[in-house]
Structure 1
Amino acid sequence: MSLFQRQAEWTADLLRITPGWQRVQALRPDCDDVTVATILSQAAAFAESVLGPLNTKADRQGCVLAEGRVRTPDGFAEAFKAYAEAGWLGMDRPEAIGGQALPLSLQAACAPLFERGCVALMMAAGASRAAAHLLLEAADETTASEWVPKLVSGEWAATICISEPDAGSDVGRLRTKARPVGEEWHITGSKCWISFGDHDMASRIGHCLLARTSDEPGVKGISLFLVPDTIDGRRNGVCVERIEDKMGLHGSPTCVLRFEEARGIPIGPEGRGLPQLFTMIELMRLSTGCQGLGIASAAADCAESYAAERRQGGPAHKPPVSIASHPDVRRQLLEIRTRTEILRAAVLELAVSMDLARIEPEGEQQRDLADFCGWMLPLVKNFGAETGFDVANRAIQVLGGAGYTKEWPLEQYLRDARVMSIYEGTTGMQALDLLTRRLWRDGGRGLDSFLKRARQDLADLVTLAPQDTETAGRVLDDFERLSGQMMAMQTTPDQALYLADAYLSAAWNALFVWMTARVAAGRYRADVIEEVAA
C-alpha cells in the first residue's frame, strides 16, 4: 500500500470516530463508510499520480513573468484542469452550479492529500473554491450565476486581494480607492502578496478585492469588489508589476498587482467589505490547517521510511541496525507522528462541526456549534501551519545531514510551510482574535462551548483511554481557570495583549490533550477489532 493510500485509510478511520460525523451521515445517507473510503482512496490516487510528480519539479522551475503575464511551471495548467474536471474543486459546492454537494467534512478529509501532493498548485484551488463560496453567499444573482459555475469548473479562477505595501494586517489603512463612474465602480491602487494574482491556468481571473469607497476612518469606509482581469476579452486595467522571489512555494506566483481604473462589481453592502470577506477568509483558514497537515503527513512518512531503511550503530561485531531501533530516534518519530495525527483529529473535528452548524435547524444547538467553530478556527489555522513547519523540521533532524540536502523533499516542505503561519492572519493576529473577539467580545461563549464538548467527549472515551482522559481533564480545568484570569484582564488590556500568544498556545494545548485521548481511544478500538477478527 502506498503512503498516500495509508494516509487515506487513517483519515477514514479517524473521521469515523469523530463525534458528530454520524449525525452528518444520518442527514446524508449517501456518505456511508464505504463511499467515504472510496472517495478518500480516489483522492489519494489523484494526489499521488497527478499532483505528486509536479511538486519538486515546480519548486525548481518556479514561475516566470514574461510580456506582462505569469507562466506557471510545466504541467500546472493540465493538472489544475484535471483536478477541476475530476470534481475535486467543487466537492462541497451545490450540484446546481457543477459541484458534488458533499459535506465540508469530506472535503477537509481529502484536502491534506492534495496539499501533500503539491501544496503550491493547491494555493490556486483554495482561493477559487473560497471565492465560489463567497460569491454564492454574497454576490447578486447575475454575478453569482456567471462566476460560480466557471470557478467550480476551473475554467475561471479567483484571488483574494487585501494586503498593500503599507497596509497588511492593518486593513483599515489600505489606500486602494473605488469611485463611482456612472453606474460603474472604477478601482485604482496596488495590492501585494497576491497568490496566483496572474497565471496561465484559467482563461479569466476574478480578484476579490477590498477598496476604500468613503472617507470614513478604519474599516468602515471599505467595500468589497469582484474585479475581473478581463472584460469582453480586453484587459481591465490590471497589470502585474512583479512576482516575488521568495523562500518557498516557488510554483505559486506571489504577485504585486496594479489596478488602474479597473471596473469592479460590488459584493455586498457598501462599507461592509471586511466582514463580507470573512465568508471567504474563514474557509481559507481551515484550508491552512489542511495545508499544514498535508506537509506534516508527508514529512512524517519520510522520516519513518528513512529511519526504517537507514542502518547505523549497534554492536561493532554485528551488522548495523535500523536507526528506528535507537531509543532517541524512536522518541523523535513518536513526537512527529503524534503531532501529525492530533492535527488530523482537530481538522476533522472543526470541519464536522462546521457542517453541523450549517445543517442543524436554527436554535440553541446551532448557536452553540457556531460559537465552537469560531473558537476552533484560529487554533486550527495557526497550529496547522506551525505543525507543518515543526514536523518538517523534526523530520530533517531524523535524516541528519541527508535531510538538509535536496536529495530528500524535507527541505522543500520546510520552506513551503514557513509562510503558512503568516498568511491568512499571522500568529499574533490569531492570538488577538482568540482573546479579544472569541473570549472578550463574545463573552466566553466559544470557550464554554469548547469546554462542554471536550468534557462530553472525554466522558465517552474514559473506559477506552482512562489515562489520557484523566490527563486531558486536568488540563481543561487548568485552562478554564486561566481563561477566567484572562477574562478579568479586560481592565488591563495592554498586559493581556502581551500574554495573548501564550493564551493561544494554552488553548491549543487544551485541544491537543482532548484530541490525544480521542486518537488513543481510536487505536484501542482498532486493536480490539483486529483481535476479534483474528
Structure 2
Amino acid sequence: MSFSDQADRTLALLAVTPGWQRLRSLRQDCDDETVAAIVGEAASFAERVLAPLDAVGDRIGCRIENGRVVTPPGFAAGYRQFAAAGWIGIDVGECHGGSGLPLAVQAACAPLFERGCMSLMMAAGSARAACHLLAAVADAETADRWIPKLLAGDWAATICISEPDAGSDVGRIRTAAAWHDGIWRVTGQKVWISFGDHDLCGRIGHCLLARTGEEAGTRGLSLFLVPDRHADGRPNGVTPERIEEKMGLHGSPTCALRFEAAEAILLGEAGRGLPQLFAMIEQMRLQTGGQGLGLASACCDIAEAYARERRQGGAPDAPAVPIAAHPDVRRQLRSMRHRTEILRAAHLEIACAMDLARIAQDPPDRAAARDFAGTLLPLIKTFGAEAGFDIASAGIQVLGGAGYTKDWPLERHLRDARVMSIYEGTTGMQAIDLLARRLWRDGGMGLEICLERAAADIALGGGALARSGMEAVEEFRALLAHMQALKATPEAGLERADSFLRAFWCLVSIWMLRRLGSVGLGEDELRQSVDRLRAELALFGRLCR
C-alpha cells in the first residue's frame, strides 16, 4: 500500500480542477509547494500513526468499564497526536485557533486519514464538524470556549440526532429541553451516536436536537450543546447505556445515551434547530465521500500490488505469469481504478465549490457556487459510500480466497464501508434531496450550472470523445425536463428518484473522466469508460421514464 502514491494522485487532480485555479487566485497560501508539503505530511502521518491502529481497533473493539467507554489500545494517544499536529483544525478559522486553510486542502488530506484508520477518524470528523457548527451558530462566548478545546483534542463532540423511534424521520424526536431557573435542561434518549462516550479526552459536547415547543414536526426542534460533564468534572446527567455490536468500525463506539435533566446551551435560534444543524451535516456528508475514497484508494493499491506479485496460469510449459497479465484481471483492476479516480476528481471539485461559496468576490459567483455544491453533495455522499464498499468487494475478488481472509485488510475495509450508505442520510434520502429539493423546489438551478460546466469542460478535449460527452449532456438535459414534469405526480417521481440520481452520476463521471485524461489516462481507456457510462446513463434514463 502506498499513501504517498495516493497523495501524488490527489495533487495531480487538484492541479487540473478549475475551481482550484480560481481559489488560488483568491488565496495567497495556496501555492503548489505549500499544498504539496501539507498533503505529503498528511500521507506520512496517516501511514506512521493512524494505519497501525486500524487492525488493532477492529480486533479489540470498545467496551464499557465503570460506566465509561474504553477505546482500543493506542487510540487515545493517536487522537492526541492528530490534534496536536493541527489536523482537526486545518480548515477552521484562525480566529478560533485553526489553520484557516481552504476546505479543498482539507479534502485533499482527509481520505489519507480515513485510509489510515477510519474508525478513529469518526471522532475527529465529528469534532471538526462541530467546530464549523459552533463558529456558524453559537454565541461568541460558547464558540471561544469550545472550539480551541476541540481543536486541541482536549474535548470532543458528537452529532446527536437519532432516537429509538426517530431515525431519518427527525420530526418524531421526543427528547425535550425545558427552561427552568435560567438553565436549559435536556431529557431523553439518543441512539446510534458515534463516539457517544470514550476515553480519548476529558469532555464531550453533544450537538443535540431536542423539542422546545408544542409544535409537531421539525419546527418544534432546537439545537443544543450538551456537555457530558460540567467544567469542574462533575457528571452532567449523560449516561452511556450500551455500545452497539456492529458489523464493522469496531474501534468506533456507537452508543445509546440517556440524558436526565442535563444542562444544555442553546445554539442559535429556538425552533430552528434542524436548518442550523445542516452546517454540521453538510461537512459530514462530504466527509463520508472522503471516507469512501480513502478505503477505495487502499483497496485499489492492494489489488494492483497483489496482481503484480501473484503468479498463476499462462503456458503450462513456462513459469506462471502474474495474474495482472490476464485480460479479465486487467479489466477488474481498470474498473476499480477508474471508479476511484473519478470519485477523487469529484470530491475535489465539490470541496473547491464549497470554498468559493464562502469567499468568491462577487455575490452572484458565491450563489452559483453554493447551488452547484449543494447539487453535488447528494452524489458525493452516495457514490463515495458505494465506492468504498464496492471496490473493497472487487478487490477481494481479485485476490480470490486470500482476499476473504483476515490476512489482508480488504475484508475489514468492506465491513467498515457498509454503513456509509446508511448514516448521514441514506441513499434514498440523497436521491429525494436531489429530485425534490434541488430540482422541484429550487427549480434545478444547481443542475443547470452543473450541465453548463460539464459541457464547457468536455468540449475542451475536442474530437470523438468530446462529441460523445456532449451527446451525454444533451441526453441528461432531456431527462431533466422529464423529471421536472413529474413534479405534477410526485409519487411517480419519487419512485424514480434513485435512477435519476444514478443517471446524474453517470454524467458527472463522464465529465470527470476528462480530467483523468489530463493526468495520464490513455485515449483508448477513456473511450471505453465513456462508452460504458453512456450505456449506464441510457439504462437509468429508461428506468426514469
Please classify the TM superposition score into its range, dividing by the shorter chain length.
over 0.9
Indicate if the aligned counterparts of 1:468 and 1:516 stay in contact, CA closer than 8 A.
Answer: no
More displaced, 19-28 or 426-435?
A: 19-28
Match of 1:522 among 519, 523, 526: 519
Gaps of 5+ in 1: 527-534
| Residue 472 (structure 1) shift | 2.2
2:318 counterpart residue number: 318
Deviations 1:162-217 (A, max 9, x none): 00011000000010011111211111100000000000001110000000111101
Indicate if the aligned counterparts of 1:242 and 1:255 stay in contact, CA closer than 8 A.
Answer: yes
2:474 counterpart residue number: 477
| CA–CA distance in structure 1, aligned partners of residues 177 and 510 of structure 2 | 48
1:396 paired with 2:396, answer yes
TM-score, normalised by the number of residues in structure 1: 0.96
| CA–CA distance in structure 2, aligned partners of residues 471 and 153 of structure 1 | 51
1:163 counterpart residue number: 162
| CA–CA distance in structure 2, aligned partners of residues 468 and 274 of structure 1 | 44
| CA–CA distance in structure 1, aligned partners of residues 464 and 8 of structure 2 | 26
- One-letter code aligned to 1:279: A
- One-letter code aligned to 1:38: A
1:257 counterpart residue number: 257
Deviations 1:314-339 (A, max 9, x none): 00000000000000000000000001
| CA–CA distance in structure 2, aligned partners of residues 524 and 212 of structure 1 | 53
Indicate if the aligned counterparts of 2:220 and 2:271 stay in contact, CA closer than 8 A.
Answer: yes
| CA–CA distance in structure 2, aligned partners of residues 471 and 255 of structure 1 | 50
Deviations 1:436-456 (A, max 9, x none): 001110011111111111112
| CA–CA distance in structure 2, aligned partners of residues 369 and 95 of structure 1 | 23
Matches within 5 A, 1:79-478: 79-231=78-230, 232-460=232-460, 462-463=461-462, 466-478=463-475
TM-score, normalised by the number of residues in structure 2: 0.94
| CA–CA distance in structure 1, aligned partners of residues 164 and 468 of structure 2 | 47
Indicate if the aligned counterparts of 1:468 and 1:520 stay in contact, CA closer than 8 A.
Answer: no
Indicate if the aligned counterparts of 2:155 and 2:203 stay in contact, CA closer than 8 A.
Answer: yes
| CA–CA distance in structure 1, aligned partners of residues 518 and 399 of structure 2 | 31
Indicate if the aligned counterparts of 1:341 and 1:519 stay in contact, CA closer than 8 A.
Answer: yes
- One-letter code aligned to 1:482: L
| CA–CA distance in structure 2, aligned partners of residues 30 and 365 of structure 1 | 21
1:531 counterpart residue number: none
Indicate if the aligned counterparts of 2:16 and 2:518 stay in contact, CA closer than 8 A.
Answer: no
Match of 2:499 among 499, 502, 527: 502
| CA–CA distance in structure 2, aligned partners of residues 11 and 343 of structure 1 | 11
Deviations 1:70-116 (A, max 9, x none): 00010000010001111111000122222111110000000000000
| CA–CA distance in structure 2, aligned partners of residues 196 and 207 of structure 1 | 10
Indicate if the aligned counterparts of 1:213 and 1:223 stay in contact, CA closer than 8 A.
Answer: yes
More displaced, 96-105 or 185-194?
A: 96-105
- One-letter code aligned to 2:201: A
1:235 aligns to what SS in structure 2?
A: coil
Aligned residues: 522
Cα distance change, pair 60–190 in 1 and its aligned pair in 2 (3 A): same
2:300 aligns to what SS in structure 1?
A: helix
RMSD of Structure 2 on Structure 1 (CA):
1.2
| Residue 470 (structure 1) shift | 2.7
| Residue 390 (structure 1) shift | 0.6
| Residue 30 (structure 1) shift | 2.2
| CA–CA distance in structure 1, aligned partners of residues 22 and 475 of structure 2 | 31
| CA–CA distance in structure 1, aligned partners of residues 154 and 422 of structure 2 | 29
Cα distance change, pair 386–380 in 1 and its aligned pair in 2 (3 A): same
Deviations 1:28-84 (A, max 9, x none): 222211111111111000000000011111100100111110000100000100011
Match of 1:491 among 464, 488, 496: 488
Deviations 1:106-149 (A, max 9, x none): 00000000000000000000000000000011001110110011
- One-letter code aligned to 2:196: G
1:178 aligns to what SS in structure 2?
A: strand
Moved over 2 A (4+): 466-472
| Residue 524 (structure 1) shift | 6.3
Identity %: 60
| Residue 12 (structure 1) shift | 0.6
| Residue 525 (structure 1) shift | 10
| CA–CA distance in structure 1, aligned partners of residues 464 and 37 of structure 2 | 35
| CA–CA distance in structure 2, aligned partners of residues 192 and 257 of structure 1 | 6
| CA–CA distance in structure 1, aligned partners of residues 331 and 51 of structure 2 | 29
| CA–CA distance in structure 1, aligned partners of residues 426 and 317 of structure 2 | 53
| CA–CA distance in structure 1, aligned partners of residues 146 and 219 of structure 2 | 27
| Residue 24 (structure 1) shift | 1.0
Indicate if the aligned counterparts of 1:59 and 1:251 stay in contact, CA closer than 8 A.
Answer: yes
2:125 aligns to what SS in structure 1?
A: helix
Indicate if the aligned counterparts of 2:457 and 2:514 stay in contact, CA closer than 8 A.
Answer: no
| Residue 468 (structure 1) shift | 3.6
1:529 counterpart residue number: none
| CA–CA distance in structure 2, aligned partners of residues 198 and 395 of structure 1 | 34
Deviations 1:474-514 (A, max 9, x none): 22211111111110011111111111111111111111111
| Residue 365 (structure 1) shift | 1.7
More displaced, 37-46 or 20-29?
A: 20-29
1:45 paired with 2:44, answer yes
Cα distance change, pair 201–3 in 1 and its aligned pair in 2 (3 A): same
1:448 aligns to what SS in structure 2?
A: helix
